[in-house]
Amino acid sequence: MDDENIALNSVLGLELNRVFFAVRETANKQKIIEFAREVLHSERAELAGNILPEGPAS
């Protein structure tokens, strides 16, 4: 991951944290948690799809 992506992920994480604590209702906090999990899951799946398995050298 390059520096730009790391910085962007840090900013997004801080913003998500700010929104989470600004929300008062537990049900809405649960929706935020579920959304964040879905995003992480899809990004991990995308990263796994981009990694090519190493095979024998040709």
Is the model's pLDDT at 54 over the cut of 70?
A: no
Contact status, residue 2 vs residue 15, Cβ threshold 8 Å: no
By CB atoms closer than 10 A (0-12, 13-18, 19+), residue 22 is exposed
pLDDT for the residue numbered 57: 56
Contact status, residue 23 vs residue 29, Cβ threshold 8 Å: yes
Q: What is the pLDDT of residues 1-31, one digit of tens each?
A: 588 888 888 888 888 888 888 988 999 989 9
CA-CA distance, 36 to 27, in Å (whole number)? 14
3-class SS at 7?
helix
pTM above 0.75, yes or no: no
